[in-house]
Amino acid sequence: MYDITSVYQAKSVDDAIAALTADPQAVVIAGGTDVLIKIREGKLAGCRLVSIHGLTQELAGVTLAENGDVEIGPLTTFRGCTESPVIQKTVPVLGEAADTAGGPQLRAAGTLGGNLCNGITSADTASTQLAFGAILRVRGPQGVREVPISEWYQGVGKVALAHDELLVKIVIPQSHYRGWSGHYIKYAMRNAMDIATLGVSCLVKLTADKRGVEDLRLAFGVAGPVPMRCLETEQAMVGLPVEEAAEKIGPSALGEVQPRDSWRASRAFRLQLVEELSKRAFVEAVRKGGGAL
């Protein structure tokens, strides 16, 4: 039994924004896989909910825009993302990352928007979206604005979203994914129903002969307080033969990450994972891109 004071079922995005504007304490619920847990733990006990769960017409689904951009409705579930033909064709690594979250039940309920809006570092789809440089379209009482995902994370559990705003679209521009291949590794203690000890997403654009790195993206979850990219490493790998990049990427990433010591895993252990998994993710990304390693 959950301690919920009230649930308002929003009829539209505008209606949800109006409801949030009217109630500064209200909490948005979509898939519920985070919010219900917080209510059960007591952190949100007695809360008033504004549910956008039913707004699938406006907010769910993945489409390919005419300009080739991938447009993901934030109510798209993990499973919806994985199974989307558009995702599979354009940014398959995002579908693969989504398929590592929790278990089948969670993936049928949890949403990609929620995975970004909760602002947590271990979110399985966050590092890949960060690597792709997704554009987050946000709507509030004043209208629509666009936030590059690089400016989204403001601190632990804090994102660039006002109380009366909703994330309404995740856009991956065509120029960010065409010619790229990627690989995501979730390192966890179990093969299912687990939270990442470390998540690594590596995207690579190979040279025409498939032997060199033309460009690279390396993003992590749980390597710092929020999902993060290793910009210096990305730069340093550009122009290297893939063999050399494979050797250098791990040690280089170590200089940029800031994992913490916690009872779940030590900093030293996470650093070892950063070094090893950067390499493994890179190697797989190269293979997927047609390179040989």
Partner 1 sequence: MEVGKSAIRVDAADKVSGGAKYTDDLIPRPHLVAKLLHADIANGVVRAIHTQEAARLPGVVKIVTCFDVPDIQYPTPGHPWSTETAHQDVSDRKLLETRVRYYGDDIAAVVAEDEVSAQRALKAIRVEYEEYEPLLTTQAATAEGARPIHDERPNNVLASMDLRTPMPESDFKTVEDVLACPAYHQFEGHYQTQMVQHCHIEPAVSYAYMEGGKIVVVSSTQIPHIVRRVCGQALGIPWGDIRVIKPYIGGGFGNKQEVLYEPLNAFLTRAVGGRCVKLELTREEVFQNTRSRHAISFDVKAAVDGDGNLMARWVKAVSNQGSYASHGHAIVANAVTGFRQLYLDQLGCHAEACTVYTNLPAPGAMRGYGIPQGDFAGECMMEDIARKFGLDPYEFRLRNIMPLGYVDPFNGITCHSTGLRECMEKGAEFIHWKELREKYQNQTGPVRRGVGMAVFSYKTGVWPISLETASARMVLNQDGSVQLQLGATEIGQGGDTVFSQMAAESIGFPLERVHIVSFQDTDTAPFDTGAYASRQTYVTGMAIKQTGEIFREKLLRYASEMLERPTAELDVRNGEIVDAATGEQVLRMYDLAQESFYSFRRTEHIAAESTHQCKDNTFAFGACFAEVEVDIPLGKVKVLRVVNVHDSGKLINPKLAEAQVHGGMSMGLGYALSEEMKFDAKGRLLNGNLLDYKLPTAMDQPDLTALFVETDDPTGPFGNKALGEPPAIPVAPAVRNAVLHATGVAVNDLPLSPQKLVEKFTQAGLIHNGR
State the nearest-atom distance from the C-beta of 280 to partner 1, in Å: 9
Nearer to partner 1, 157 or 251 (CB): 251
Among 15, 23, 83, 194, binds partner 1 (CB under 8 A): 194
SS3 267: helix
SS3 81: helix
Pairing of strands 47-51, 4-9: parallel
Residue 290 makes CB contacts below 8 A (sequence gap 6+) with 181, 206, 210
Among 54, 269, 287, 288, binds partner 1 (CB under 8 A): 269
- Distance between CA atoms of 52 and 140, rounded to whole angstroms? 14
State the nearest-atom distance from the C-beta of 37 to partner 1, in Å: 9
State the nearest-atom distance from the C-beta of 285 to partner 1, in Å: 18
* Phi, psi (degrees; rounded to nearest 5) at 104: -55, -40
187 near partner 1 (CB under 8 A): yes
Among 13, 86, 160, 265, binds partner 1 (CB under 8 A): 265
Residue 235 makes CB contacts below 8 A (sequence gap 6+) with none
Nearer to partner 1, 55 or 271 (CB): 271
- Distance between CA atoms of 164 and 142, rounded to whole angstroms? 10
Candidates 100, 262, 118, 103; CA nearest to 186 is: 100
Nearer to partner 1, 143 or 190 (CB): 190
> How many residues in the shown chain lie near partner 1 by CB under 8 A?
30
Among 155, 191, 208, 290, binds partner 1 (CB under 8 A): 191
193 near partner 1 (CB under 8 A): yes
Among 276, 287, 288, 293, binds partner 1 (CB under 8 A): 276
Torsion of CA 263, 264, 268, 273, to 10 degrees: 180
Considering only residues 102 to 161 of the shown chain, the ones binding partner 1 according to CB under 8 A are 103
Among 101, 109, 271, 283, binds partner 1 (CB under 8 A): 271
Among 275, 287, 288, 293, binds partner 1 (CB under 8 A): 275
Considering only residues 38 to 57 of the shown chain, the ones binding partner 1 according to CB under 8 A are 42, 45-46
Rounded alpha-carbon distances, angstroms, from residue 32 to 6, 29, 50, 146, 276: 15, 6, 11, 25, 34
Question: Is 24 exposed, middle or buried, given 0-12, 13-18 or 19+ CB atoms closer than 10 A?
Answer: exposed
State the nearest-atom distance from the C-beta of 269 to partner 1, in Å: 4
- Distance between CA atoms of 5 and 202, rounded to whole angstroms? 43
Nearer to partner 1, 189 or 238 (CB): 189
* Phi, psi (degrees; rounded to nearest 5) at 140: -140, -170
Q: Which stretch binds partner 1 (CB under 8 A): 69-77, 91-99, 272-280, 284-292?
A: 272-280
Nearer to partner 1, 148 or 157 (CB): 157
State the nearest-atom distance from the C-beta of 1 to partner 1, in Å: 4
Question: Is 128 exposed, middle or buried, given 0-12, 13-18 or 19+ CB atoms closer than 10 A?
Answer: buried
In the complex, the residues that contact partner 1 under the rule CB under 8 A are 1-3, 42, 45-46, 103, 187, 189-195, 197, 251, 254, 263-266, 268-269, 271-273, 275-277
